[in-house]
Structures are given as C-alpha cells and as structure tokens.
C-alpha cells in the first residue's frame, strides 16, 4: 500500500498537467472553429461556381441552338439558290431549243 503512494504524483503536479491539457484543448478548439469558418466560405464559393457554371451551360446551349439554326438556314438558302440557278439555265436552254 505504501508502495502505491510512492508511485502517485502529487496533486499539484496533476493539476498542472490537467491545466496544460485543458489549455491545449482550448487552442485546438479555437483552431477548429477557424477551419470550420473557412470551410463554410469555401462551400459558399463552390455553390456560387456551380450556379455560374449552370448559367454558362444554359447560355452555351442557347448559342449552340442559334448557330445551328443559322447554319441550317444558310444551307437551305444555298440549296434554294442552287436550284434557282439550275431552273433558270433549264428555262433558257428550253427557250433556245
């Protein structure tokens, strides 16, 4: 029993160690709060970027549809012009024959 008492630390040393652990935990908690705040800002930034990307995708699809429509119209116009030229040539050939 007396041997057990010799292995025990004095109460003041235990109090100092506990105070140091408490202080380290407080510092850790404060750092963790800072990290949490920064993480929230990063999440907000990512949400904003997602929204921006959705806008860009929508605009790109609109532009793509516009360009496709213009290209289709141009191709149709070229075909019509080609047919008109051929008809005129055929009419001239028929009239001169």
Report residue 51: phi and psi, to 5°: -65, -45
Distances (CA, A) of 10 to 13, 15, 17, 22: 5, 9, 11, 19
CA-CA distance, 43 to 49, in Å (whole number)? 10
Domain ranges in the chain are 9-96
pLDDT tens-digit map of 56-72 = 999 999 999 988 888 77
pLDDT tens-digit map of 1-45 = 455 566 788 888 999 999 999 999 999 999 999 999 999 999 999
Q: What integer pLDDT is reported at residue 92 of this predicted model?
A: 85
Q: What integer pLDDT is reported at residue 90 of this predicted model?
A: 85
């Amino acid at each position: 029993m007396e041997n057990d008492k010799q292995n025990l630390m004095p109460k003041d040393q235990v109090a100092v160690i506990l105070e140091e652990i408490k202080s380290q935990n407080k510092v850790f908690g404060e750092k963790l709060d800072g990290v949490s705040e920064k993480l929230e800002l990063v999440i907000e930034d990512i949400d904003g970027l997602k929204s921006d990307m959705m806008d860009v995708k929508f605009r790109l699809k609109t532009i793509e549809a516009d360009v496709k429509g213009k290209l289709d119209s141009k191709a149709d116009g070229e075909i019509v012009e080609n047919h008109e030229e051929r008809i005129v040539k055929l009419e001239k050939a028929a009239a001169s024959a």
